[in-house]
Structure formats: structure tokens, C-alpha cells
Amino acid sequence: MGALLTLDGVEAGYGAMQVLKGVSIEVQEGEIVALIGANGAGKTTTLNVISNVVPVRAGRVRWREELSSGGSIVDTVRRGIIHVPEGRRLFADMTVLENLEMGAFLRHDPPGVRSDIERMFALFPRLQERQEQRAGSLSGGEQQMLAIARGLMAHPRLLLLDEPSLGLAPIISQQIFRTVRELNQTQGVTVLIVEQNAHAALGLAHRAYVMETGCITMSGPAAELRDDPRVKAAYLGE
Amino acid sequence: MPLHLAESGWSLFVLTLFNALTEGSTFALIAVGYTMVYGIVRLINFAHGEVYMVGAVTAWWLFVTPQVPLWLALLLAMGVCAALGWSLDRLAYRPLRNSTRLAALITAIGMSLILQTVVQLVISPNFQSFPETTRATVKDAGIAARAAPDPAAAEVGELRIGAEVPVWPGERPTDGWVPIGWTRAGETEPALAWAPGASLEVKQGLPAAVNADLLGGARIKLPLKDVLIWIAAAVMMTGLHLLVQRTRLGKAMRACALDRTTAALMGIDVNRVIAATFMIGSAMAAVAGVLYSVKVGGNISFRMGYYPGVIAFAAAVLGGIGDLKGALLGGMLLGFAKAFFATYVRSEYDFAFCFSVMILVIIFRPYGLLGRPSAVRA
Ligand SMILES: Nc1ncnc2c1ncn2[C@@H]1O[C@H](COP(=O)(O)OP(=O)(O)OP(=O)(O)O)[C@@H](O)[C@H]1O
Ligand SMILES: [Mg+2]
């Protein structure tokens, strides 16, 4: 059986700058895959290529064996590729509730959307209390919860998470990681997660890729990478 | 007769107030188009004044040539302008979406010139207006005007071929007979008479109801034409507010205004939202163009979009570009500034005064009255 998502020798960049220099990644259905690496390695760019925010210059991205690079962002959303971008990117002037509704923009089952909003509120009770508040007025942790909840409203088949724990207190990031694992285990959501906190990411993921200046330098089961001396030295601070 | 010669004191003030509301409503209806497009695309659509012009010209042409009713001419003009707004975006702006702002700006000015030239070629460079009254031209020789719609009725005079007679308001044609105003021998005022419709070519004018005054005092009149503009502005601004706040399209528009890439990540087709924005703003400009031309008369030409367009742009900037309430506030403020300056100071410099107001506000509040320094953009 083919992979859910395949990146095949992907090159991408901005202007004259080449950022991704032939990246190949595979994500199987039902997996949690982590992508770790130093600042500026190209992790965000990789996710942007998958969701067609940034075009590929060479190589290809395939979704269930079908070419998906070269299309529009909305095409990827229709396939169920839901990108929760770095820095949350909430609609700051819209309410919490409206942000959740935007997440369900392509759905046409209002009762289902309403019950999903209730589910999000059950998952993140703080959002329920603040549903009529402007998203921009939420705390950083609440904003991250809302960004993830907004992504889940679309019923993702593949959830792309870019640094979901950035700037969060440890307790809150643990809660977010726990939520991701639950979603994966109970609802079978496939996850590709980019994380600064390599320790947490390797604890959560089944498999991981290590990226250095636009190239994948290591990959394997997360548990093995966690014990790799190079990874330990570079990313786990041990 | 200019206002300041005809009136004085309290009644002058009230008439100026009515004028201010009319000008303000017109500017606000146009300003909305600038502000919505800027809010989402960060582009000043300098051809927007021309959309207003095309709206007025289209309705005028439909009214005098195929002689459709005024309300239908208005609706069709809205449709034509919506299509024009869509085409401007599709042909001129969308291909430049990722190029420099200067390129889009120059294109906007180019589109503006093209539209002016095309309209000038199509309708001639002369000023036109919606005819105030319905009139009929006599096509045949030897036709008699009669006292009743009946060939046997008493003859009250002979209609010369080529003569133009007013159609009598308040009477409907019956059995192929058209009611006309006819000044009988020895009379000074025209009275009702009837002429055979087959020998007349009737050119419709504004309906009597539209020409009526809502308040008809000796010194203070409130023409229905003004009230129509106020009602149109109130209804359309409220409708737009509800659309933007409540509907799926409106929420998509707000999302695109805040962050286009993230809006696309929600599955929103940004290009379609932008096209819809152009269409809505253009239809509103059409309403302003038609109703304002019905009100003032004699202003319809390829040039008519320039000043209202520029003032409405100033209104949008003054209110805080990107903000719908700001467009309303800015439009009203400049409408009041223009009308009161024209009445009480110098009518020649009213546009200059509007710009001075805008410049003053922008010096002290660079983002406009309701604008905020950081539009949330990545
Ligand atoms: N929009 C852009 N325009 C130009 N250069 C960019 C843009 N986005 C990223 N870059 C550059 O591309 C390189 C890779 O950036 P990217 O955001 O993919 O890194 P990252 O691995 O996500 O880093 P971090 O861990 O800091 O988020 C960086 O050198 C960055 O400066
Ligand atoms: Mg990043």
C-alpha cells in the first residue's frame, strides 16, 4: 500500500534563495511523524510546500499517489490536508466562535459543524468561556488551542502542525501533545508535526525526520532517534 | 438658482442640511467600494469613479432609449456595474496580484481612462440628464387634440407635425389615446387634452412620484429624490454590514482582509471572494451614480465619475481605509463639509475644502478616524 503523503526530491525557496534542496519524506496513514531541526533549516517551508503555500521548484508532492504539488492551497484543503501554521495565524479581529466556523468553511453540514464546535469546547473548555471574545485578545496558550481546534473543525485526514508548543507553558504544551496523541489514537488522524521541543516531539511521534539546512540528514523510528548520540547532542541538549 | 440667493436664515440651514445628507450618502456609497477592495487586496481601485459613471450612463441610456422603467434601469445598471467590477478585477488586477503596487496603480488609472474614452465614444461628450417630464413628439400631419379619448369628441386644436407636447401627468393612456397638456386658445395654462397615440412618439420622463416633494413648504422643500438617496444609502450600508457580519461570504471577506494565505488554508477561494467584493462595491457605486444623477440632472457624461470618485476615495481614507463604518463616516463628513462650505463660504472651492479636511485629519490621525495602526497582516 502506498503512503498517504510522499515528498520526492522536493526543492523550494524564496527569490534567489534555495531553501529545500531535495527533500524526500513519507507519511503513512495513521502515523504521527515528527520533523525536527535547527532554526532556519526549512521545516516551515516543507509544510508550506505540502499545503501549496510555497510552490515546488523541482521534485513532487503526492497525496495517495496522486500529484498534489502545482495545485492551489484550496485543493489541498479539499483533500483533507489541514495546515495549522506557525505563529497560529488566527483571524485576530474575529471571535473565537467565528474562527472555529472558518475552520469548517468547506463543510456544508451545519448540524455537524455545531456538534463539532461543542466537541472542541469539551476538548478546550477555556475556548467555550471565551467564545464571543476576539481571537486576538486570547492568551498565547488559548490562541494555540484555538488554532488547533480551528484546524480540527475541517476533519483533517492529515494534520500539519507547525510548532504547536511555541511560547507555551510546559503544562499547556503537554496538554496539547496529549490532545494530538488522543486525536491520532481515537480518530485516526495522521499528523506531521514540526517541533522545537525535540524531546516532546520524539516522545509523541512514531517516526521522525531530522532536517539540516534544507536536507533530511536522519530518519527512523522516533524511539531510535531519541537514543542516537548525534540527535542527543544536537537537539536534546544531552 | 443657487441656494444662497434664494433662501436665508433657518430655511437656508435646513436646505443645506438636506444637501449635505444627499452628498454624504452618495460619497459613502462610493467610498464603500474603495474601502472593501483595499481591505482585501490592498489596492486603490482608481477606476471605481468610472464604475459610478458607467452606472449612471447605463441607467440613463436604458431609460431614454429602450425606455425601461426607472427601477428596472437602476437594477440593470447595478448588474452591468457588477459585471464591470468583476471584469476589472479579472482582466486588470488579478494578473498583477503578485506584482508591485505601482503596477496595479498604473493599471487602475489606465482602466479609468479606457472607460472614460469608451463612454465618450458611445454616448458623445455632451452632458445628459434623465428627462424630468414625459413628452410626446407629433409624427403625423393633420392630427387633432380632442377633449376626450374619443375620435368623436370635440376638437380643441391642431397638433403640428414635429411639435413636442408634454404628456399629462396623473392620467393614463386609454384605448390608444395619450393624455397631453394643451394650451387652448385664449388660455395661458395648459389643460388636459387627448391625442391619438399612434401619431405620437412618447419619450418617458421621470415618474411624477419621483419628482414630488416629500415636504413642500413655501421655503423648505424636501424633494423625494434626496430621500431616495438617503434610503438607498441606509438600506445598502445596513445590508452590507449584515452581509459582512453574518453570512458565509461576509465572514470569508473578513478572513481574507485579515490574512489571505490563512484564509486559503481554511479552504476559502480567495480569488472568488475578491471578485465578489469588486462586484458588490461596483453595484453600490451604480446606485449612487443613478440616484445622484436623477437628483441633480444634467451631469451625466464620461467625466462625471472623476470628482465624486476622488472625494469618495478621500472619504474612505479619512474614515480609515479598510473600515466599512469609516467609509460611511468619512463620506458623511465630506458631504457635510462640501455642502456647508458651498452654502456659507464659496461654492467654487467646495472640493478643495473637502481635501483640506481630509489632509487635516490625516495629519493628526494617519490611519483615519476609525482605522487602526496595525491591520493584522503577516
Ligand atoms: N517568506 C520568506 N521569504 C524569504 N525567505 C524566507 C521566507 N520564509 C522563510 N525564509 C527563509 O527560508 C529559510 C528557511 O525558513 P523556514 O521558515 O522554513 O525554517 P524553519 O526550519 O521553519 O525555522 P524555525 O525553526 O525558525 O521556524 C530561512 O533562512 C528563512 O530566512
Ligand atoms: Mg518554522
Q: In this predicted structure, what is the pLDDT of residue B277?
A: 97
Answer yes or no: are the C-beta atoms of B308 and B27 closer than 8 Å.
Answer: yes
Q: Is B264 on the interface with A (CB under 8 A)?
A: yes
Q: In this predicted structure, what is the pLDDT of residue B4?
A: 47
Q: Taking CB atoms and a 6 Å cutoff, what residues make up the pocket around ligand 1?
A: A 14, 17, 19, 37, 39-45, 86
pLDDT for residue B140 is more than 60: yes
Q: Is A106 on the interface with B (CB under 8 A)?
A: yes
Residue A94: C-alpha distances to residues A122, B183, B328 (Å):
21, 67, 21
pLDDT for residue A197 is more than 50: yes
Q: In this predicted structure, what is the pLDDT of residue B351?
A: 86
Q: Which atom of ligand 1 is nearest to the CA of A14?
A: 4
Q: Which residue of A has its CA nearest to B378?
A: A89
Distance of CA A125 from the midpoint of ligand 1 (Å): 34
pLDDT band at B287 (very low <50, low <70, confident <90, very high): very high
Q: Provide the percentage of residues in chain B whose pLDDT is more than 90.
A: 70
The per-residue pLDDT for range A91-129, each reduced to its tens digit, is 999 999 999 999 999 999 999 999 999 999 998 899 999
Pairing of strands A215-221, A207-212: antiparallel
Residues A71, A161 within the same domain: yes
Residue A97: C-alpha distances to residues A100, A129, B246, B317, B333 (Å):
5, 11, 12, 31, 35
Please give the full DSSP string across chain A, using - where no structure is assigned. Answer: ---SEEEEEEEEEETTEEEEEEEEEEE-TT-EEEEEE-TTSSHHHHHHHHTTSS--SEEEEEETTEE-TTS-HHHHHHHTEEEE-TT----TTSBHHHHHHHHTTT---HHHHHHHHHHHHHH-HHHHHTTTSBGGGS-HHHHHHHHHHHHHTT--SEEEEE-TTTT--HHHHHHHHHHHHHHHHHH--EEEEE-S-HHHHHHH-SEEEEEETTEEEEEEEHHHHHH-HHHHHHHS--
Question: Residue B320 — φ and ψ, nearest 5°?
Answer: 115, 95
Please give the full DSSP string across B148-202, using - where no structure is assigned. Answer: SSSTTSPEEEEEPTT-EEEBPTT---BTTEEEEEE--TT-SS-EEEEEEGGGEEE
Q: Provide the percentage of residues in chain B whose pLDDT is more than 70.
A: 96
pLDDT for residue A169 is more than 90: no
Sequence-distant (6+) residues with CB within 8 A of B126 are B301
Q: Is B97 on the interface with A (CB under 8 A)?
A: no
Compute the half-sphere exposure of residue B350: CA atoms within 13 Å on the CB side of its CA.
Answer: 19
Mean per-residue pLDDT, B207-216: 87
All residues of chain B having their beta carbon less than 8 Å from the beta carbon of residue A53 are 261, 264-265
Mean per-residue pLDDT, B294-321: 94
Nearest CB among B258, B264, B267 relative to A91 is that of B258
Protein residues within 5 Å, CB atom, of ion ligand 2? A 44, 86
Compute the half-sphere exposure of residue B51: CA atoms within 13 Å on the CB side of its CA.
Answer: 36
Q: In this predicted structure, what is the pLDDT of residue B6?
A: 52
Q: Which atom of ligand 1 is nearest to the CA of A17?
A: 5
The residue type found at A43 is: K
Contact B265 A94 (CB under 8 A): no
Q: In this predicted structure, what is the pLDDT of residue B1?
A: 40
CA distance A161 to A147: 10
Question: Residue B177 — φ and ψ, nearest 5°?
Answer: -105, 140
Q: What residue owns the CA closest to ligand 1's atom 4? A: A14
pLDDT for residue A71 is more than 60: yes
Q: What is the pTM of this model?
A: 0.91
Tell me which of B59-68, B208-217, B307-316, B323-332 is least confident: B208-217
Residues A149, A171 within the same domain: no
Residue A38, domain member (yes or no) = yes
Q: In this predicted structure, what is the pLDDT of residue A1?
A: 60
pLDDT band at B378 (very low <50, low <70, confident <90, very high): very low
Residues A103, A74 within the same domain: no
Q: What string of H, E and C letters represents the secondary structure of A142-177? A: HHHHHHHHHHHCCCCCEEEEECCCCCCCHHHHHHHH
Q: How far apart are the first and last CA of chain A?
A: 38
Answer yes or no: are the C-beta atoms of A11 and A22 closer than 8 Å.
Answer: yes
pLDDT for residue B376 is more than 60: no
Task: Map out the domains of chain B as residue ranges.
Answer: 5-130+217-364, 135-202
Pairing of strands A190-194, A32-37: parallel
pLDDT band at B175 (very low <50, low <70, confident <90, very high): confident
CA distance B63 to B60: 5
Q: Which atom of ligand 1 is nearest to the CA of A163?
A: 27
* C-alpha cell belonging to residue B133: 417630464
pLDDT for residue B322 is more than 60: yes
More confident residue, B255 or B377: B255
Average pLDDT across chain B, whole number: 91
pLDDT band at B94 (very low <50, low <70, confident <90, very high): very high
Average pLDDT across chain A, whole number: 94
Residues A30, A57 within the same domain: yes
Q: Is B219 helix (H, G, I), strand (E, B) or coil?
A: coil
CA distance A168 to A90: 16
Residue A49, domain member (yes or no) = yes
Q: What residue owns the CA closest to ligand 1's atom 30? A: A40
Specify the CATH number for B5-130+217-364; select among 2.60.120, 1.10.3470, 3.30.379, 1.10.8: 1.10.3470
pLDDT for residue B300 is more than 90: yes
Number of separate domains in chain A: 2
- Rounded to 5°, angle at Cα B65 from B62 and B71: 30
Residue A127: C-alpha distances to residues A93, A149, B169 (Å):
16, 9, 65
Q: Is B304 helix (H, G, I), strand (E, B) or coil?
A: coil
Instruction: Chain B: give the shortest CA distance to residue A64, in Å.
Output: 20
Distance of CA A39 from the midpoint of ligand 1 (Å): 8
Instruction: Chain A: give the shortest CA distance to residue B308, in Å.
Output: 31
Residues A215, A197 within the same domain: yes
CA distance B210 to B226: 10
CA distance B329 to A147: 34
Residues A185, A217 within the same domain: yes
Distance of CA A96 from the midpoint of ligand 2 (Å): 25
All residues of chain A having their beta carbon less than 8 Å from the beta carbon of residue B263 are 91, 102
DSSP lists the bridge partners of residue A25 as: A7
Residues A24, A64 within the same domain: yes
Nearest CB among A51, A92, A105 relative to B376 is that of A92
The per-residue pLDDT for range A198-234, each reduced to its tens digit, is 889 999 999 999 999 999 999 999 999 999 988 888 8
Which CATH number covers residue A161?
3.40.50.300
Q: Which structural domain range is residue A106 located in? A: 90-155
Residue A85, domain member (yes or no) = no
CA distance A82 to B265: 7
CA distance B154 to A153: 81
Pairing of strands B221-223, B213-216: antiparallel
Q: In this predicted structure, what is the pLDDT of residue B375?
A: 44
pLDDT for residue B374 is more than 80: no
Residues A73, A182 within the same domain: yes
pLDDT for residue B314 is more than 90: yes
Answer yes or no: are the C-beta atoms of B203 and B134 closer than 8 Å.
Answer: yes
Q: Provide the percentage of residues in chain A whose pLDDT is more than 70.
A: 99
Instruction: Chain B: give the shortest CA distance to residue A225, in Å.
Output: 32
The per-residue pLDDT for range B49-89, each reduced to its tens digit, is 999 999 999 999 999 999 999 999 999 999 999 999 999 99
Spell B58-78 as b/e; 16+ CB within 10 A means b: bbbbbbbeeebebeebbbbbb
Tell me which of B228-232, B321-325, B374-378 is least confident: B374-378
The number of angstroms, rounded, from the C-alpha of B81 to the middle of its chain's C-alpha atoms is 12
Residues A70, A187 within the same domain: yes
Q: Which residue of B has its CA nearest to A108?
A: B248
Q: In this predicted structure, what is the pLDDT of residue B137?
A: 92
Q: In this predicted structure, what is the pLDDT of residue B373?
A: 61
pLDDT for residue B221 is more than 90: no
CA distance B324 to B28: 9
Nearest to B253 by CA among B48, B99, B35, B49: B35
Residues A75, A170 within the same domain: yes
